[in-house]
Amino acid sequence: MTVSDNLDVFCGKSVDDYDRNTGIVNPQGRAYRIRITYDEYEQGTKSEDLITAFVNDPKAGEVTDLIIGAYDYESSTDSVGIVTAIVNAKDKLRNLKNLFIGDITYEESEISWIQQSDVSPVFAAYPGLVHFQVRGGTGLRLSALKHDTLETLIIETGGMYPETLKDVCNANLPNLRSLELWLGSEHYGFESKTEDLAPILSGKLFPKLKRLALRDSEISDDIAKALTGAPVMEQIEELDLSMGTLGDAGAQALIDNPAVRKLKNLNIDHHYLSNAMMEKMRQIGIPVEMDDQNEEDEGERYVEVAE
């Protein structure tokens, strides 16, 4: 499966595509998405041009929710220009709270083809940022990630490179409450082990964390086992291991983990559990999401989103 749809809702608000002719109509009630079409790309239009027009709108200072959609259709352009344009607009987007760079579907660019960059300058430019989301792992860095108000960090990749994961594990985000990582496949950059997740699982890195989502992972069973005795389990309320390769061994580790039974919700959608194990999961006493049961293909398991 690939990412097939653009967002209709972002941070609780309906999404409108920005139109230079119409301008910003409802800055506080809508989330705005800036993207170029394929025809515009062919004609030489750049997302940076649209961002400039957007931030020069008289109502730009009232915008709280912004999405950057497709900015390249040939996997030849990274997000450096996007990041620079957003950073340069910090005085005009003075009320920006929620930002997503990369709301891009497979028809616009496969997730593994999206060229990102170091997005860290955004955090320094917007001290009031609450939600940050990014899609695409190639070239993605969050070096020296430090932010005092960020509550949600979502990183969607088809394969998270070790350097990117290290950036997360070295982050200083004292108010982070929700962390969502799409770890992906080794065929697209993922090379890490559960040991590399130790700073996150320690509970010390993000002391206010309430939701931990280690999604789309080909080491889901290993992660489930590593959560046994992990201090982070004593602080979170929601655990999400969906989109990955969780099987009976990992599910049993979750069942045997006393901390799992204290959660408010467990999500393991897109899994490889047997019917018998699914029935056992239903008996653990908490809400468990476990749709999309899969079977191994010649002994192989696959994450939901990779290419």
How many domains does one find in the chain?
Answer: 1
CA dihedral 69, 74, 78, 83 (to 10 degrees): -30
Does residue 34 lie within any of the structural domains? yes
pLDDT at 45 over 60: yes
Tokens of 131: 């939600």
Does residue 185 lie within any of the structural domains? yes
pLDDT band of residue 133 (cuts 50, 70, 90) is very high
What is the side-by-side strand order in the sheet with 211-217? 9-10, 13-17, 31-34, 65-68, 98-101, 131-135, 152-156, 178-184, 211-217, 238-240, 265-267, 288-289
**Rounded distance between C-alpha atoms, residue 74 and residue 229, angstroms:** 46
Whole-structure pTM over 0.95, yes or no? yes
Tokens of 92: 């005009």
Neighbours of 297 (CB within 10 A): 8
Residue ranges making up the domain that contains 119: 9-218
Quick one: average pLDDT of 171-181?
Answer: 98
CATH of the domain at 148: 3.80.10.10
Tokens of 101: 């760079």
Does residue 237 lie within any of the structural domains? no
pLDDT at 114 over 60: yes
Between 288 and 41, the higher pLDDT residue: 288
- Going by their DSSP bridges, the two strands 13-17 and 9-10 should be labelled as antiparallel
- Whether the CA torsion 221, 223, 229, 234 is positive or negative: it is negative
Quick: pLDDT tens for 210-231. 999 999 999 999 999 999 999 9
pLDDT of residue 76: 86
pLDDT of residue 66: 98
- Going by their DSSP bridges, the two strands 238-240 and 211-217 should be labelled as parallel
Centroid of chain to Cα 174:
19
Does residue 284 lie within any of the structural domains? no
Q: What residues contact residue 241 under an 8 Å CB cut-off, 6+ apart? A: 213, 214, 215, 217, 220, 223, 224, 250, 266, 267, 268
Quick: pLDDT tens for 22-31. 999 999 999 9
Tokens of 87: 């950073």
Q: How far is CA 76 from CA 36, 80, 113, 200, in A?
A: 15, 12, 9, 33
pLDDT band of residue 75 (cuts 50, 70, 90) is confident
Does residue 62 lie within any of the structural domains? yes
Does residue 303 lie within any of the structural domains? no
| Region of poorest pLDDT, from 63-72, 73-82, 84-93 | 73-82
Quick one: average pLDDT of 233-245?
Answer: 98
Q: CB of 78 within 8 A of CB of 115?
A: yes
Quick: pLDDT tens for 263-284. 999 999 999 999 999 999 999 9
pLDDT of residue 1: 57
Quick one: average pLDDT of 59-66?
Answer: 98
Q: How many residues does the chain have?
A: 307
Neighbours of 249 (CB within 10 A): 14
